[in-house]
Amino acid sequence: MDRENEEHVYINEEPNSHDVRTGRQISTTHQTPGSSETTEQLQCVQVLLCVVLLTALIVLGTNYTQETHQLQSDNTNLINERDALLSKNNDLIKERNACRHDFFKENNGWIYNHSSFYYISSEKKSWNESRRYCTERGADLIIINNKEEQDFVQKNINRRSLFWIGLTDIDEEGSWKWVDGSTPTFRFWKSKEPNGQRGENCAVVHSTVWADYRCSLAYLWICEKNILM
């Protein structure tokens, strides 16, 4: 190789060379074609993804808010419908009770009080006959469960008369039971009553108290028909 060619090779191997005419340095560093364009494309993709995600979040948030409002509205409507039905049901119950009250009171002499109808007789029968009269009409001799019912009886009877009630110890002496088999939780026995032992196994109400008498005697009676559902 001649000297001129050697110098040419040497110059090409220099990382930087100078232009002999202008004296400016010539860069021999090479850039990868399209590298700046790829970076810009990546940035564009990232921005696009951010926009898509943000849009999706906004849409989801809007749908959630709308669904929440719809559920709240539906719940309010259901509550209103429930209250309307309850109100209507209460009105129907009042109408039913009023009809029954009028029917029994006007046509059969029955008195309505606290979900029960009461029949106060005007004739006299034995305890068994009195009970039969009640059961034939879908009722039974009265069961007095509390003071309020005792007070109701006192206000509607002739206190000078005796009225059979649905209380007896005929099955077991000394074990007083109501006609439905329950044991009295409230007692209004007269002082020293019951005292009839085996001879007096049925109870009457007289004035404000109870007493035991022979079941075969004829007295007035009180029937009770409970309509509580």
Q: What percent of the chain has pLDDT over 70?
A: 78
pLDDT, one tens digit per residue, over 38-91 is 888 888 888 888 888 888 888 888 888 888 888 888 888 899 889 999 888 888
Contact yes or no for 121/221 (Cβ under 8 A): yes
Greater pLDDT, 39 or 16: 39
CA distances from 74 to 55, 60, 67, 70 (A): 28, 21, 10, 6
Specify the pairing of strand 140-141 against strand 116-120: unpaired
Residue 9 has pLDDT above 50, yes or no: no
Indicate yes or no: pTM above 0.85: no
Residue 210 dihedral angles phi and psi, to the nearest 5° = -110, 160
Give residue 23's pLDDT: 53
Residue 14 has pLDDT above 50, yes or no: no
pLDDT, one tens digit per residue, over 126-172 is 999 999 999 999 999 999 989 999 999 999 998 889 999 999 999 99
Contact yes or no for 135/225 (Cβ under 8 A): no
CA distances from 67 to 14, 61, 110, 226 (A): 72, 10, 57, 50
What is the mean pLDDT of the segment spanning 177-201? Answer: 89
- Token pair, residue 4, equals 């001129």
Buried/exposed code over 151-170 (b: 16+ C-beta within 10 A; e: otherwise):
ebbeeebeeeebbbbbbbbe
pLDDT, one tens digit per residue, over 192-229 is 888 877 889 999 998 889 999 999 999 999 999 987 64
Residue 125 has pLDDT above 50, yes or no: yes
Query: Which one, of 134, 131, 107, 132, lies nearest residue 118 by Cα?
Result: 134
> Any idea where the domains of the chain sit in the sequence?
37-108, 110-226
Domain covering 110-226 assigned CATH 3.20.20.70 in the classification = no
